[in-house]
Amino acid sequence: MNPDYTKVEDIPEEEKAKYAEQFKQEVIESGKPADIAEKIVMGKLNKLYSDLVLLEQPWIRDDSKKVKSLIPSDFELVEVIRYSI
């Protein structure tokens, strides 16, 4: 996978709001009740983050774990360099 961001906090607030509004419109147009719509939007955002954010992606050897669960708590991932051929 080719993530655009390292952490969820790295995503600009404008971009998060844009995605949230887009998902909210989709859910409202599908006819879901408002109380359920928020939960659906949060689920869609979390799914999106698993594609866009490195630490939220599933670990390649065990997809029930996220990459962030493999990094020790006293470590901080500062920068990632991705090489491709």
Phi, psi at 71, each rounded to 5°: -90, 130
Q: Which residue has the tokens 């790295």?
A: 10
Q: Which residue has the tokens 């939960």?
A: 39
User: Confidence class of residue 82 from pLDDT cuts 50, 70 and 90?
Assistant: confident
Look up the pTM and report it.
Answer: 0.78
User: Confidence class of residue 77 from pLDDT cuts 50, 70 and 90?
Assistant: confident
Element (H, E) at 38: helix 34-52
pLDDT digits (tens, 9 = 90+) for 33-54: 888 888 999 999 999 999 999 9
User: Confidence class of residue 21 from pLDDT cuts 50, 70 and 90?
Assistant: very high
DSSP string computed for 43-65: HHHHHHHHHHBGGGSBPSS-TTS
Phi, psi at 17, each rounded to 5°: -65, -40
